[in-house]
Chains A and B, each alone.
Chain A
């Protein structure tokens, strides 16, 4: 009996010893990735590279004019609020309007030294998210280019050019919206990331121009991508003050070219019977609460353009209900209320406007007026009456920018244009941006003409010390 027990004991002890000395690695080291985490190796295929390419495009699609989780965090919406295109109407705050949207709409956007100072209502929730979305496009574009270069089929190399152009658009929007001092940090394909200090507004535009040049060099097989890059380059060159260069960049854009960001609207985005969100544009009326988070502005803040009251067919709008205080909300007729209307990212109209402004800058008044009237005759049906030369340089500039405001209404251009008026034409900020009493009961407009960089950047980027300049 004792011998038997001894034998069992020794056997068990030996089993424990053997199990203890076997390789732990062999038991547990090769656990598979969780099923919800794609195997990194799957991206290193032609299909994976293409998925990364589409990842870039969809990130930009949302950042430019789509509905993210916040509903109004996109370049078109924020540009509209900062400028005279849109009024903030998002419900939620103690004043009846979301404090964050109101801070942007009223241009009261102090730059904070640390995240904990960015309290609710400072606007940081909105502009911080927009900043992140546009920067994510930059990072993803770089990642996708790496995958496309290494694993994409040779026939798709033109898509790499497309990625350069999209990144250029993201950087142009960053430069239009945010203060001077935007860090253009990089995440390297298959490697590390590199932090960068803030770049001046001018340097960001120049960086975007270089991206457009790369796009042009690689997009030869795609007229669509070439034209997108050309118009983008023209827009960025215009922002740097290189009017002639801008006109040259867009000279080859044929009438009728349009590059659209498409949004399917409700009822289309279904997978497996479940409705997908974030497939509508900024103009969608929230089907749940039945309210649009903006209202089309008219002569906002003294200096605003009479978008609505002018009766101009390019900027008409219709009442779609009222806010919590009973104030009527206007929705632009240009866009459907279900958020399914495409938004123009770049088109021939912008090309002609760039050429017109360059001609004005060069003193070629005939070309200037001709380009503007060509658009009024060809780009809308029925045609608009021709414009006449108002006779003074300032009035010509006013007319040019008014035409830009109407043609490019709610496409994310207006904020950049207002800044250019200050920067390139010497206009006072208070004569360009909405000013004076803010909507009657909420104090006055602030003095900010740019969005600050969110303090999360300062907290994590040792090379970034804040905006270089909050001016235009």
Chain B
């Protein structure tokens, strides 16, 4: 047996360790010196199905040598049960067997263990006695009332500790009678400390309802090499307990869950349209590639989540007549948040090395619910809410005048010397209901779930459905116009174009195959349908439009001039749809093959099928010649397959050290297939290709990529010290056939210094953990990036079709993999009797050979090739993250807690490679310059201005603009702070939760300023500040006036929940019910001149710009939740 173990260990670590005497592992509790309870801590392993209680008791007695005393008159000894436990303390196993039988254990002061009938007590006598008592009870989630398994219940001042079982029950015995202080801890929850009277010789019940907290050292983290306690890791990893968050916050998507709860994560929303994606960035812009997206792993299965890829937009894009390029919903939001148990966020290479090169931008690990033992527990909630656009839009200025000489009535520009001003009017069509498309939206959501199980199998099934109508609606003016021209009312989709529906069904199942093996199966199917129209793209022009009420004519901004418009809206008649069907499934097999050897295998696949369309139905365009209809269709499929195999061996080393070695391999294959086609001259009443008079432009794109890596991770630990090392070798089809195999090392250290005897601040710190980690990761160039590739097609030339090829990519044979090195250090502390928790991390992430798509100017090959990938230099992100939680008030009646996270990130391009000169990105809005942040903002500066002609107006010629670009700021926030507060009143019958976010340092490109400038105060009001006049006047030469470094403070959400009394809940046959009023986006305080700086016109890439797209709406909803 021992020889076999060392054989495997030798294989795992390459035979570099000499054998030492092995010890059988046990899960014994901290102290075994207490002889009275020591037998109960002996590990037992049971796999018994449908046996009597007495048989199970005998088996435990035999394995742990407890020498139990009991009589056959005890109740329920003949009841049939099943039990499967591995290395569980005998006491806990006994508790499992005895649960619900009315039998309890008693331990005499001489250590004799007796089983007796449970007795009721009716009074509490606080009388010290030499005979101890027993304490038992149940630990549940204060919000969901679900039992909590694994809670640690301890009697302070003693060595007594118990762990709650899968029904939440714990048992402590013997507890010295008299007043006792009992503390209950659970990963992810606030500990509760409570005094109670332990009655001599009696069974004393004490239940605990634990409230969720952000993070604890004892939390279990899912790493690439399996679950680990947070305390063992040298990295800071954020863990979100989703049920607890969702119960008190208005959560509608996974993005909502992440948005304000992860230090170091910035979320930039694309628009405020229902279902639109967001850009997630962990610890700044790491890679200079467009793809800075973290990877997404759901129950061990990689999910396609490349939000920066061009195909993340509507696959039928570039077909709209007004240039509207709509984004499509993100794949991360295809996951039903109600089906998630936890989300863990690994922020960089130091934490994610073993996940492989794809993980250089961080990893989001999602674990779905798999249920727990017990009867079926049903839960349901339903939401109904409304959305609207808060506040009003800023007013514009319009100057009426008449022309000198002919008295013609004209728009009289401030600087127009040939015009005499008659009046100045202020206006904003978006604030006028007749012309504004901003109305009210609504949302309904319903979720139903059930979970439960036996010792042999646990399950969870969750189903959700939501339906949201966006706030955009066709303005009443345009409705009238449409009816007048077409003779019919606009169709409903045109009236309310934004409509987002999604449904999801997910199941999780865990089965025990034997006492040492279990298998988990998970499967989910979801579909989202997003409808919208080109009406959205009209918002920017509507912001800069004036209507003359005397003649009904509309005037808009065309470049630098005001011109009469054809009508109110240019385009609102193209329908845009994006449909995605997502299927995830996976299987996970764990086998504790030997007490010291665990084998794990994961396999799964993620498939996303998309059907996106942009269509102009025949005869629905109210003006213009394109009345025969057209449709563009984009069909896409992504398929990710992955397999992970892992072996973990544990052994003891001399000097009290323990070594755990994991060796694993994983394979991930990604296949993408997209197909686009368009047709026109549609059949009446359809938006289909069937019957279309002309079918054009079919295109097809396919790619298959695969990565394979293997890793080894030896971890050494000794009591309160954990040293983890690791190495991953990566290969992949994207590397190119001649690339070397990159190796990525890692090392991390975690030290619970507060456990040391010499630690001097024990009164201050309950726990203090120091940690440090170093790791590497890389980003590989794509296969097409090295090769010069061609586009081949059959093209008509002269007299027939010929085969033609043109360049598709330039290729760069000199590319090297990008390598990222990250160092992270920090501490975690629990202070003041766990009333204050503090976490601090500092990190430095350096990218070498940064891969950047350097734009290729059109003088090289037109627009058929826009960029070429190059290793351009070194990029560094440096930052800190702080999280703190404090509970100033914690009584039975009132609990008030505050949590805050702060993160600061500094980004800089340290150097550019030889021959690489500063350049703009593909959008032309951000630039890469050594010594400045990656993709920083640059513009020609306004050096000065002077009213030379003394007319009180600054004209363009009076503004001095510098020739050289100057740095304006960075394109992502460098400081983010989140604040949240939780107030629980009347024993949690009323809870109030609110959270806020501050962002600073984002230099926003406000392109709506450019559009609006002809109607701006600066151009129309001579009393406007000269500086503002100069900025607007110079916009024909520089974007200087469009940039603004913004700070925002957003009242993100508020939830007021009321737990309905049980008597009332029972009227609905529910065990518990709650009603909550919840709101989101409740306030925005900012120095930004535009409407909302936190929305972005670009769905892909790294640029951020506000072109006037729909801001984030305000949402109020009522949620009713019930458990059965």
> Which residues from chain A sit less than 8 Å from chain B, CB to CB?
2, 5-6, 8-10, 12-14, 16-17, 19-21, 23-25, 27-38, 40, 42-43, 47-48, 50-52, 54-55, 57-59, 61, 91-96, 99, 103, 108, 110, 113-117, 119-122, 128-129, 131-137, 139-140, 143, 182-187, 190, 193, 195-196, 262, 264, 268-269, 271, 274-277, 279, 287-291, 324, 442-443, 454-457, 459-462, 464
Contacts and interface: CB of A to CB of B under 8 A. Distances in A.
Given A51-B804, A183-B857, A324 B624 contact: yes
Closest 8 CB pairs of A and B: A24-B731, A136-B862, A9-B593, A115-B924, A31-B733, A132-B862, A139-B861, A20-B710
Contacts of A122: 559
B1 A6 contact: yes
B1039 A117 contact: yes
Given A10-B8, A140-B806, A277 B696 contact: yes
Contacts of A290: 625
Contact of A195 (B565, B697, B698, B859): B859
B148 to A, nearest CB: 33
A287 B593 CA distance: 72
B1010 A183 contact: no
Interface string B704-720: 11111111100000000
A186 B856 CA distance: 11
Given A24-B710, A58-B804, A94 B558 contact: yes
B733 A43 contact: no
A117 B425 CA distance: 27
B1037 interface: yes
Contacts of B179: none
A116 B925 contact: yes
Interface of B: 1, 4, 7-8, 11-12, 321, 323, 541, 554, 556, 558-559, 561, 563-567, 570, 591, 593-594, 597, 599, 623-628, 630, 645-647, 649, 663-665, 667, 680-681, 693-698, 700-712, 729-733, 735-737, 739, 741, 783-784, 787-792, 794-799, 801-808, 810, 854-865, 868, 917-920, 923-925, 939-940, 1005, 1007, 1010-1011, 1035-1039, 1042, 1105
B1098 to A, nearest CB: 12
B558 A121 contact: yes
Contact of B697 (A92, A187, A277): A277
A443 B1 CA distance: 95
26 contacts: A10-B4, A13-B11, A13-B593, A13-B597, A14-B8, A17-B11, A19-B665, A20-B664, A20-B710, A29-B731, A31-B705, A34-B701, A34-B702, A38-B791, A40-B787, A47-B803, A54-B803, A95-B564, A103-B559, A114-B1039, A115-B925, A274-B696, A277-B696, A277-B697, A288-B693, A443-B563
B733 A29 contact: yes
Contacts of A58: 795, 797, 802, 804
Nearest to A122: B559
Contact of A464 (B563, B789, B857, B918): B857
B599 A16 contact: yes
Given A55-B805, A193-B860, A262 B702 contact: no
A158 to B, nearest CB: 16
Contact of A459 (B805, B920, B940): B920
B231 to A, nearest CB: 27
B852 to A, nearest CB: 12
A92 B821 CA distance: 52
A365 to B, nearest CB: 41
A187 B789 contact: no
Contacts of B940: 113
Nearest to A269: B796
Given A13-B12, A119-B1011, 14 more contacts: A6-B4, A9-B4, A13-B599, A16-B646, A20-B711, A34-B702, A42-B792, A51-B805, A54-B795, A94-B558, A132-B858, A193-B868, A275-B694, A461-B859
A457 B857 contact: yes
Given A114-B924, A117-B1010, A9 B599 contact: yes
A289 B857 contact: no
Contact of B695 (A12, A50, A274): A274
A13 B8 contact: yes
A55 B731 contact: no
A184 B593 contact: no
Given A40-B788, A92-B624, A271-B794, A196 B859 contact: yes
A133 B694 contact: no
Contacts of A2: 1
Nearest to B645: A16
A342 to B, nearest CB: 9
Nearest to B558: A121
A14 B645 CA distance: 11
Contacts of B625: 91, 289-291, 324
B925 A288 contact: no
A27 B856 contact: no
B624 A61 contact: no
A112 to B, nearest CB: 8
B275 to A, nearest CB: 26
Nearest to A52: B805
A27 B706 contact: yes
Given A12-B647, A28-B708, A288 B860 contact: no
Contacts of B739: 29
B701 A288 contact: no
A399 B737 CA distance: 66
Given A6-B1, A135-B859, A287-B694, A140 B11 contact: no
Given A37-B808, A459-B855, A135 B559 contact: no
Residue of B567, B741, B802 with most chain A CB atoms under a 10 A cut-off: B802
Nearest to B918: A462
A108 B1036 CA distance: 13
B859 A12 contact: no
Given A136-B864, A264-B796, A51 B803 contact: yes
B793 to A, nearest CB: 9
B594 A9 contact: yes
A38 B790 contact: yes
A408 B1037 CA distance: 38
Given A31-B706, A460-B856, A43 B795 contact: no
A378 B46 CA distance: 108
B16 to A, nearest CB: 14
B1074 to A, nearest CB: 48
Contact of B628 (A28, A31, A117, A289): A289
